[in-house]
Structure 1
Amino acid sequence: MMKKISLQWRLTIIISVLIAAICVLLNVLLYNTGIFYIDSLGNSVLSQNQDPGQGQDTNSDQEDSTLYIEFSQEDWRAFAERFSIQVDDSKKDYSIYSWILTVLITLAGGGITYLVSGYALRPLRKFSDQAAQIQAENLTDCRLDEEGVPEFRRLGESFNRMLDNLSESFSALREFNGSAAHEFRTPLAIMQAQIELYEQEEHENVDQETAEMIAMMKEQTSRLSHLVKSLLDMSELQTIPRTDPVELQSLIEEVLADLSSLAEKNGVQLIQKKRDDLIYTGSDILLYRMLFNLTENAIRYNHPGGCVTLSAEENADHNIRITVADTGQGIPKEAQERIFQPFYRVDKSRSRAFGGVGLGLALVQKIAELHGGAIRIAESSEMGSTFEICLPEKEL
């Protein structure tokens, strides 16, 4: 149960329990002490009962400073009975008020603890907010203040060192991917050229077994070339400027026009829901690639006679919302969280048949994040899937 409660509420509950325990202990001690003295006072009064006429003489009255009040026997019995009742009522009232005061002090202490702990944990909340905004592209922009609260200073220093190490690792990884892709591209291009040249020159003298082997080699080298191109694209994303004024409706039209032949081949209808003209500041090349990849996937994994619908609009938060909806087979729930991971395929056999390498959606997510946005699967079922891209509004 406590694992699901925030640290602020944990501190509030623990300190409130301690305050309540201390108040109960003090209440018990004060109650017993108060009752003792009330009983002592009652016994002292009631022990002064004397018969009328048996009081002290005049001389002793003058010498003794104690005040005596004489009652008749009947008046004394009535007074003693009322006084005993009053003492009992006072004891009950004292008990009730003391417990009410205990509860009020506990509640007040809990409220003060909640407010004070919230203020004390403010640096931790700031740390949590900064950690939530960390991405591979902005590691150095999320450094913690090392001159803050002493208790968090060491944590900030360790966290910043971790960010520096991660930034260096990501940079080295990007450089390796780019270098490896460049090194692969040349020999693959030579292999493809030699295979095509051999096929052209020897196509009449090639037997069926050799022709099948050549076809297989062409397919595999083509896949490798596509993979190398995708790796190069991903390694060079950050070097592309994102300051172009992009007309989103025109960009969608361009994407649909370029994919119209593929859609016609697969028997899929392309639909654009036109809204108001929207101009977004970003990379025209990257945004085109993002929409192209999403739309191409929606066409390839659709049913004959199905449709793909694209729309772009400004939502209530003044952000840009782009949706790509299809009428395909849907995405299994267990695969929806992993579908944007590099090289992950929902249906490996179909992906290979289409020539995919598993980097298309990873590239889409990367482009959205580079523009400060995000992509998610809004809905997916046997009736189709809807991808939603949210991009923060930028002023030109």
Structure 2
Amino acid sequence: MKTKLSLQWRLTLITTLCIAVICGCLTLFVYGNGVYYIDSLQHTVDTQLGDGSNATSAEIYIGIPDDAWDDFVSDFSVQVYNNKADYKKNSLLFSALMALAGGVATYFISGRALKPLCEFSDKIEEVQAQNLSDSRIEESSVAELNRLSVSYNRMLARLSEAFKTQRQFTANAAHEFRTPLAVMQLQLDLYNSTEHPTNDACAQQTIRMMTEQNERLSKMVKTLLDMSELQTVARDDEIALDALVEEVLADLEPLAQEKTIHLTAQCDAVTMTGSDILLYRLVYNLVENAIKYNTPGGTVTVGVAMQDKHIRLTVADTGTGIPEELKERVFEPFFRLDKSRSRALGGVGLGLALVREIVNVHGGSISVKDNPDGGTTFEVVF
């Protein structure tokens, strides 16, 4: 079995090696520099001796005539001073260069040693609720990272099981709610289809209110059921987005005419792989919201374009807009920007939450921006 060296030991060995190399180079430099300048002093003395006839290999004898002594002292003092200055300058310069070289080397070497940690971080950035099973990290050769990988994979398994349990509970609850709601709706329809002479206005109003709320609950249950089943829907259809947008606008044209809203499409011929049913629902929900929360006589513009290898789908309206601090909260389940208006329009507060889930399962992102012409723009990027 291959021995796994810890990250701490790796960095320790790297730093120790760099220090040893730098100290060795400095030692060699100091030694070489010292020998050089001592030899230069010897050269000064030899120059004063002429051909060096008074010096032997066994001993050095310096004989300086009296008339040359002053010149020798002057030249020797200058030489000593210059050697000291050169030695100081060269030592500082070499030390600075070696420190810089050591820092650069340590930076790149430690970066290579920490590369597994960077890869680990990048892998974590890709994790989403929809791809937990595909986000497992392979065993690492670094001891600390290997333990972290094991713990991380176990955490993913627990999260995956928790999400699965949550989706299963939501689906089961939605299924259980549908039966009593259908029975209630059947009884209400039967009651409304029969004349009851004894009914007063209060009873009629109560029946009407119960019918509206029952329909609203039915829509909510259907949406919750759709959200719980998103993971099981096949996403391998080849979809022409421009044709899909045209289909959505045609289906919503009656609602737009009722609200006196003008629908326009500015779509390039773009295709993508995904779920035709889910993407239709995505565009439908965005356009329907843009119509409902628009101002009378306003415009809804749907655009599809390919930019920088990304598909951009935009739905822009000319409504009253969304405050900056609430632009992220509009995707929360049951969040309402204007509760009284939302209820009057028949919304259940799950339309944009479902849109975000559909975007996520297709590996995209969605954001809310201000429309330069007034209102709001929803931008989806695949």
Q: 1:76 to 1:202 in 2, by over 3 A?
A: farther
| Distance (Å, rounded) in 2 between the aligned partners of 1:157 and 1:382 | 52
The aligned counterpart of 2:50 is none
Q: Give the conservation status (yes or no) of the 8 Å contact 2:178–2:221.
A: yes
| Distance (Å, rounded) in 2 between the aligned partners of 1:135 and 1:62 | 86
| Distance (Å, rounded) in 2 between the aligned partners of 1:110 and 1:66 | 47
Q: What do the CA deviations read for 1:184-226 (whole angstroms, capped 9, x no partner)?
A: 0111111122223323335653222223322322222222111
The aligned counterpart of 2:308 is 316
| Distance (Å, rounded) in 2 between the aligned partners of 1:180 and 1:381 | 43
| Distance (Å, rounded) in 2 between the aligned partners of 1:389 and 1:281 | 15
Deviation at 1:305, TM superposition (A): 1.4
Q: SS at the partner of 2:331?
A: coil
Q: 1:285 to 1:75 in 2, by over 3 A?
A: same
Residues 19-168 of structure 1: pairs in structure 2 closer than 5 A = 66-168=59-161
| Distance (Å, rounded) in 2 between the aligned partners of 1:102 and 1:383 | 64
The aligned counterpart of 2:190 is 197
1:375 to 348, 357, 366: 366
Q: Give the conservation status (yes or no) of the 8 Å contact 1:328–1:382.
A: no
Q: SS at the partner of 1:252?
A: helix
The aligned counterpart of 1:52 is none
| Distance (Å, rounded) in 1 between the aligned partners of 2:56 and 2:264 | 115
Equivalent residue letter for 1:364 = V
Kindly report structure 1 stretches of 4+ aligned residues shifted beyond 6 Å.
Answer: 61-64
| Distance (Å, rounded) in 2 between the aligned partners of 1:151 and 1:294 | 47
Q: 1:289 to 1:62 in 2, by over 3 A?
A: closer
| Distance (Å, rounded) in 1 between the aligned partners of 2:128 and 2:251 | 32
The aligned counterpart of 2:238 is 245
| Distance (Å, rounded) in 1 between the aligned partners of 2:196 and 2:240 | 48
Measured on the aligned residues, the alpha-carbon RMSD in Å equals 3.2
Equivalent residue letter for 1:254 = E
Listed as ranges, the gaps of 5+ residues in structure 1 are 1-10, 46-60, 392-396
Equivalent residue letter for 2:133 = T
Residues 195-344 of structure 1: pairs in structure 2 closer than 5 A = 195-202=188-195, 204-275=197-268, 277-317=269-309, 319-344=310-335
What is the TM-score normalised by the length of structure 2?
Answer: 0.83
What is the TM-score normalised by the length of structure 1?
Answer: 0.80
How many residue pairs are counted as aligned between the two chains? 353
Q: Give the conservation status (yes or no) of the 8 Å contact 1:329–1:382.
A: no
Equivalent residue letter for 2:302 = L
The aligned counterpart of 1:389 is 380
Deviation at 1:176, TM superposition (A): 0.4
Equivalent residue letter for 2:158 = N
Deviation at 1:257, TM superposition (A): 0.8
Deviation at 1:101, TM superposition (A): 1.5
Q: Give the conservation status (yes or no) of the 8 Å contact 1:323–1:387.
A: yes
| Distance (Å, rounded) in 1 between the aligned partners of 2:245 and 2:66 | 109
Q: What do the CA deviations read for 1:321-344 (whole angstroms, capped 9, x no partner)?
A: 211111111121111222222222
Q: SS at the partner of 1:143?
A: coil
Percent identical: 51
Equivalent residue letter for 2:103 = G
Listed as ranges, the gaps of 5+ residues in structure 2 are 1-10, 46-53
Q: SS at the partner of 2:322?
A: coil
Q: Give the conservation status (yes or no) of the 8 Å contact 1:330–1:381.
A: no
Q: What do the CA deviations read for 1:101-135 (whole angstroms, capped 9, x no partner)?
A: 12111211111111112111111122112111112
Q: Give the conservation status (yes or no) of the 8 Å contact 1:331–1:381.
A: no
Q: 1:62 to 1:297 in 2, by over 3 A?
A: closer
Q: Give the conservation status (yes or no) of the 8 Å contact 2:315–2:377.
A: yes
| Distance (Å, rounded) in 2 between the aligned partners of 1:64 and 1:271 | 104
| Distance (Å, rounded) in 2 between the aligned partners of 1:69 and 1:119 | 59
Q: What do the CA deviations read for 1:46-98 (whole angstroms, capped 9, x no partner)?
A: xxxxxxxxxxxxxxx99995433333334212221221122122112111111
Q: 1:348 to 1:87 in 2, by over 3 A?
A: farther
Q: Give the conservation status (yes or no) of the 8 Å contact 1:298–1:326.
A: yes
| Distance (Å, rounded) in 2 between the aligned partners of 1:352 and 1:73 | 117
| Distance (Å, rounded) in 2 between the aligned partners of 1:274 and 1:134 | 32
| Distance (Å, rounded) in 1 between the aligned partners of 2:207 and 2:301 | 39
Equivalent residue letter for 2:296 = P
Deviation at 1:380, TM superposition (A): 4.8
Q: SS at the partner of 2:330?
A: coil
